[in-house]
Amino acid sequence: MAPRIIILGRQGAGKGTQCARLVAEHGIVHVSTGDMLRAAVAAGTELGKQAEAIMSSGGLVSDEIMNGIVAERLAESDISENGVLLDGFPRTTVQAETLEQIFADQGVELTAVINIDVPLEEVTERMMARGRDDDTKEAIEERLRNYEAQTAPLLDFYAERNKLVVIDGLGNEDTVFARVQGALAL
Ligand code: AMP
């Protein structure tokens, strides 16, 4: 069956880099909810208008909106054919439960959840060094706080379901990718 993988990790853990490599290597479809929202903001859609202020403050867009966007995307045939790498979703327990229901309705299984583990102090330094427009100190801190409060509980959620693989995210991108590949064995 086509793989269905979730990638978790704090902002600045290197998820983007590892996703690009996984997609190149395995031909799975990358679904980044952050990219989808940024595209909506750039296009000036209704969704984009609603999401813009929330995103720049480091907050989370509502579960209802996110679940709707992802359910629609997961129904497309490129994903049933090639599998999916979910990046940035789920971010809350409500989203994880919704995703579980979507997969159950589709009769498919979650393959694995990869957590790229980089300590809080290290990601904070990386984020400050990156200097992206939406990376104000306040927004970075708010995103990291949200991650600990809302997304870190998903580690237990998936560990209980025997789906969680924790990858040491310290080291260069080749080293980390070798660990990811070793853990996935696709
Ligand atoms: P990312 O590129 O994944 O860091 O996402 C950028 C921003 O988009 C986040 O800081 C949130 O404001 C919003 N966002 C992306 N994915 C989600 C999600 N699954 N739930 C809520 N908000 C999200």
- Does residue 28 have a pLDDT over 80? yes
How far apart CA 118 and CA 170 sit, in angstroms, is 6
Q: Is 21 a catalytic residue?
A: no
Q: Which of 33, 35, 64, 130 to mutate to test the pocket of ligand 1 (most atoms within 8 A of CB)?
A: 33
What pLDDT was estimated at residue 88?
A: 97
What pLDDT was estimated at residue 129?
A: 86
How far apart CA 87 and CA 49 sit, in angstroms, is 22
How far apart CA 69 and CA 78 sit, in angstroms, is 16
Q: Tell me the percentage of the chain whose pLDDT exceeds 90.
A: 88
How far apart CA 159 and CA 175 sit, in angstroms, is 24
Q: Is 132 a catalytic residue?
A: yes
What H or E segment, with its residue span, contains residue 155? helix 153-160
Report residue 70's pLDDT band, with 50, 70 and 90 as the boundaries.
Answer: very high
What pLDDT was estimated at residue 176?
A: 98
Report, as an integer, the average pLDDT of 36-44.
98
* Domains of the chain with CATH codes: 4-31+83-184 (3.40.50.300)
144-164 per-position pLDDT tens digit: 999 999 999 999 999 999 999
> Residue 145 to residues 6, 118, 124, 142, 170: CA-CA distances in angstroms?
21, 15, 11, 5, 21
What H or E segment, with its residue span, contains residue 123? helix 120-130
Report residue 62's pLDDT band, with 50, 70 and 90 as the boundaries.
Answer: very high
- Does residue 78 have a pLDDT over 80? yes
4 - beta bridge partners? 84
Report the 3 state secondary structure along 91-121: CCHHHHHHHHHHHHHHCCCCCEEEEEECCHH
Q: Is 86 in the pocket of ligand 1 (CB under 6 A)?
A: no
What DSSP character marks residue 28? P
Q: Is 73 a catalytic residue?
A: no
Q: Tell me the percentage of the chain whose pLDDT exceeds 70.
A: 99
103-139 per-position pLDDT tens digit: 999 999 999 999 999 999 999 888 888 877 767 888 8
Ligand 1 centroid vs 15 CA: distance in angstroms?
13
